Amino acid sequence: MAMREIRIVGDPVLRTPCDPITTIDDRVRSLVEDLLETVDADGRAGLAANQIGVGLRAFSWNIDDELGYVLNPQIVELSEDEYQDGDEGCLSVPGLWFPTHRAWYARVVGTDLDGREVVVEGTELMARCLQHEVDHLDGLLYLDRLERSVRKKAMRAIREQL
């Protein structure tokens, strides 16, 4: 297991949709170990594989002292009438937080390392994490979800950091 370096906005791997995991082998097992170790630090809620430079559909989470992972996650349900608006941040956009509109509830279906179906669901922070990490796997950043005026501020702040 290894704590992996986080890729930062501007790295093309963050904008590339991740490939499905078709075979669970030692490489995938090692990836899951690295995802779990890397997300297990203060202030980290979730981590997608492409954030550590691996273009496979997997992510880990660290919410309310619960560590977990899911392979090939797909969002299968979002609350349609309840939403949350709150500041969202990203390990790949360090130090910046912007108000992001998300569904209040989310459910994701995927698999574990044994190929068994996994259902991960939650409200509030867990729902935000699930949506955020699946976005990563689809090549999106939370910046893409911001209202236009807020996104302009965010992009300016990112340029100022460089």
Q: Please enumerate, by residue number, every residue annotated as part of a binding site.
A: 90, 132, 136
Catalytic member of 33, 121, 133, 160: 133
Residues facing 69 on adjacent strands = 60
Instruction: Give yes or no: 133 in active site.
Output: yes
Known binding-site residues for Fe cation equal: 90, 132, 136
Q: Which residues are catalytic?
A: 133
